[in-house]
Amino acid sequence: MTRELEFLNQTILGNSLLQWLFAVAALLLGYLLLHLAKHFAGRRLAAIASRTETQWDDVFARAIDKTKALFLFVAAIFIAAQFLQLPEHTQLIFHNLFIVALLIQAGIWIGVITISTLEQHRLRTLKKDPAAATTINALGFLSRIIIWSVVVLVALDNLGIDVTALVAGLGIGGVAVALSLQNILGDLFSSLSIILDKPFVIGDFLIIDDYMGSVEYVGLKTTRVRSLSGEQLIFSNSDLLKSRIRNYGRMFERRVVFNIGVTYDTPREKLKRIPVIIREAIEAQEKTRFDRSHFMKYGDYSLQFETVYYLLSPDYNIYMDKQQAIYFTIHEAFEREHIEFAYPTQTLLVTQTAG
């Protein structure tokens, strides 16, 4: 028994073998307990989240699930180090290592909570206010930058680095980086301009030069548009703001202009009836507002009538349905009134002169 005690009292690196055994046991037991605590807390919160309508328990459950095994191991090492008598600089290393790991893990937790909260808010507001959803995407990016900037600065300050001098140096270096990344930063500021000024939002139908489609996503560098034929069009934000954009998502009603030509041999009384027929055909349709219909000009082979009306809906399919119904009604009325539509014709006059 005495020999065993003497063996355990042997000194290794300033600590007895018994102290090393306690430290190893604390390391293994601490890691196991921390891992079990994470697993139990995650399952417990997940069970609570399944029975409640609030989203906060889901957010915290997701944050706990993001607890890294490396952080648990570093925390276990820090606990085990308390059972050893270590030099001051070694204790400082373990202390700083734990603090840095804790800061990084805290950054992950805060980031998950922030992004999850913003994502849930974005999903709730997407149907009501697409512009707000675009703004929330940018807030998520900015929040990540702020969180990790604070984590890095606090970690460096804890390691004894002069943060003030570092920030000043980064400011000078940032100018050089900004000059070399002009295009990327241009797209970034363009995205902020889109978010703040809101020339369009997710869901708007745009015509950009020869391209058209619905906005699907507004990112930090690009905006993605789904075309009518199905493919995705990707525009650089800076190039997009330089283009002439026609936003049909902001159109509340559609102005429609169409022309009808009738033959030159149409009687005058029937010509006077044509604007009335067209007006009746338009006013018979719902969601329409008649504006005017006039005998506009003498064409090459027809008498031209121009009509203007408003469709009280921006939907293109509704516009086509109403226009088709109006044309059918006009065609039926012209058949009833025996008014003939004009089509390209030529009249050849032949004269005979004396020998």
Same structural domain, 36 and 172: yes
Task: Report the percentage of the chain scoring pLDDT > 70.
Answer: 79
The per-residue pLDDT for 336 is 93
Whether this prediction's pTM lies above 0.75 is answered by no
Residue 346: inside a domain: no
Question: Could you tell me the pLDDT band of residue 324, with boundaries at 50, 70 and 90?
Answer: very high
pLDDT digits (tens, 9 = 90+) for 329-348: 999 999 999 999 998 877 77
Residue 345: inside a domain: no
Same structural domain, 175 and 190: no
Same structural domain, 230 and 258: no
The per-residue pLDDT for 262 is 95
Domain at 228, CATH number: 2.30.30.60
Domain residues for the domain of 42 are: 9-180
Mean pLDDT of 202-228: 86
**Residue 56 · residue 114 · CB < 8 Å:** no
Same structural domain, 243 and 289: no
The continuous run of DSSP H or E covering 201 comes out as: none
Residue 351: inside a domain: no
- Cα gap 84→7, rounded to integer Å: 18
The per-residue pLDDT for 1 is 47
Q: Which of 217, 249, 281 is the last residue of a domain?
A: 249
Mean pLDDT of 272-289: 94
Residue 347: inside a domain: no
The per-residue pLDDT for 339 is 94
Same structural domain, 23 and 78: yes
The per-residue pLDDT for 164 is 66
Residue 20: inside a domain: yes
Scored b (16 or more CB within 10 A) or e, 255-264 reads ebeeebbbee
Question: DSSP class of residue 342?
Answer: P
Tokens of 282: 């338009």
Same structural domain, 161 and 15: yes
Question: What mean pLDDT value characterizes the chain?
Answer: 80
Mean pLDDT of 226-237: 88
Mean pLDDT of 240-255: 84
The per-residue pLDDT for 43 is 80
Three-class SS state of 5: helix
Inform me whether the pLDDT recorded for 224 exceeds 60: yes
Same structural domain, 312 and 294: yes
Residue 344: inside a domain: no
Going by C-alpha positions, the residue among 251, 246, 135, 136 that lies closest to residue 198 is 135
Going by C-alpha positions, the residue among 276, 282, 281, 280 that lies closest to residue 295 is 276
pLDDT digits (tens, 9 = 90+) for 160-194: 766 666 565 555 555 555 445 556 666 667 777 77
pLDDT digits (tens, 9 = 90+) for 45-104: 777 766 776 666 677 777 888 888 888 888 888 888 887 777 777 788 888 888 888 888
The per-residue pLDDT for 322 is 95
Report which of residues 312 and 57 the model is more confident about. Answer: 312
Residue 352: inside a domain: no
- Cα gap 83→234, rounded to integer Å: 59
Mean pLDDT of 150-157: 77
Lowest mean pLDDT among 3-17, 201-215, 279-293: 3-17
Same structural domain, 124 and 225: no
Same structural domain, 234 and 97: no
DSSP assignment of 215-232, as one string? EEEE-SSEEEEEETTSPE
Q: For the chain, how many structural domains are there in total? A: 3
Residue 229: inside a domain: yes
Scored b (16 or more CB within 10 A) or e, 272-309 reads ebbbebbbebbeebeebebeebeeeeeeeebbbbbbeb
Same structural domain, 39 and 126: yes
Q: Which of 153, 180, 207 is the last residue of a domain?
A: 180
Mean pLDDT of 1-5: 50
Q: Which of 222, 249, 276 is the last residue of a domain?
A: 249
Report which of residues 18 and 5 the model is more confident about. Answer: 18
Domain at 269, CATH number: 3.30.70.100
Same structural domain, 80 and 204: no
Same structural domain, 268 and 319: yes
**Residue where the block lists tokens 């219909």:** 293
